[in-house]
């Protein structure tokens, strides 16, 4: 029997061992990032809100920033017995919910910066990003299961799609 899905809230990090399932609902500009190792059957998901911590003081939630979430996911997985050389990653989110022509607020595009920074950090850590569904202007819910290692992405209007 598959266990109940664990909820990954904003800035949360959740680790599961097979059989496990993680879900993050209503991702807008945030990123749902999963790093997993099929050989040891371990996976961890972070719900990233902002690109960079800028060495800030609130490091109690490393899942909040792309630059702290990636190394934390790696550490947690390695500590749980996962093999780093087998790591793969999937991610979804980073959309721009509002399109406002001429707005001086650069923050509207934070989703794109989240996706960029996450990708950059994965690359620097030598982790292969095998699937990604980012950008656009739709909110997404994501679900990841160790049953098939597929990240199911749901949007309102266009339905579900596995990546």
Partner 1 sequence: MEYSEFNPIHLDAIREVVNIGAGNAATALSEMLGKPVDMGVPNVELVSIYDISERFGPEEDFVAAIYTHAEGAFPCNLIFIQDEDAAQGLVDAMFVARMNTDGREFPPEMRDSALGELGNIVLSSFLNAVSRMIGSDSLSISVPGVAHDMLGAILEFVASIFAQSGELALLVNTTLQLEQDGSDLKGNLMMVPDPGALETLLSKLGVL
Catalytic residues: 30
- Does 5 participate in binding partner 1 (rule CB under 8 A)? no
User: Residue 114 belongs to what H/E stretch?
Assistant: helix 110-124
What is the number of alpha carbons within 13 Å of residue 29 lying toward its C-beta? 19
Binding positions for partner 1, 95-134, rule CB under 8 A: 95, 97-105, 107-108, 110
Task: Select the span of 5-13, 36-44, 82-90, 126-134 touching partner 1 (CB under 8 A).
Answer: 5-13
- Does 55 participate in binding partner 1 (rule CB under 8 A)? no
| Among 70, 78, 71, residue whose Cα is nearest residue 40 | 78
Structure tokens at 138: 């739709």
Cis ω for the linkage preceding 104 (within 30 of 0): no
Task: Select the span of 32-40, 80-88, 116-124, 138-146 touching partner 1 (CB under 8 A).
Answer: 138-146
CA distances from 96 to 52, 112, 155 (A): 18, 7, 14
**Closer residue to partner 1 in complex, CB, 50/82:** 50
Structure tokens at 101: 């022509």
Q: Are 72 and 63 in contact (CB under 8 A)?
A: yes
- Does 42 participate in binding partner 1 (rule CB under 8 A)? no
**Closer residue to partner 1 in complex, CB, 38/52:** 52
Q: Looking at 40, 138, 152, 161, which residue binds partner 1 (CB under 8 A)?
A: 138
Binding site for partner 1 (CB under 8 A): 9-12, 25-30, 49-50, 58, 61, 64, 95, 97-105, 107-108, 110, 137-141, 156
């Amino acid at each position: 029997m598959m266990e109940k899905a664990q909820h990954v809230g904003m800035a949360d990090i959740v680790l599961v061992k097979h059989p496990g399932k993680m879900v993050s609902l209503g991702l807008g500009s945030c990123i749902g990032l999963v790093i997993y190792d099929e050989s040891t059957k371990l996976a961890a998901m972070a719900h990233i809100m902002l690109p960079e911590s800028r060495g800030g003081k609130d490091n109690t939630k490393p899942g909040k920033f792309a630059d702290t979430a990636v190394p934390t996911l790696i550490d947690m997985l390695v500590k749980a017995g996962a093999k780093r050389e087998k790591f793969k990653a999937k991610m979804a989110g980073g959309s721009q919910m509002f399109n406002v022509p001429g707005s001086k607020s650069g923050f509207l595009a934070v989703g794109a910066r989240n996706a960029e920074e996450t990708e950059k950090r994965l690359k620097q850590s030598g982790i292969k990003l095998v699937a990604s569904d980012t950008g656009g202007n739709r909110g997404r819910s994501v679900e990841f299961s160790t049953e098939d290692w597929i990240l199911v992405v749901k949007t309102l209007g266009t339905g579900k799609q596995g990546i």
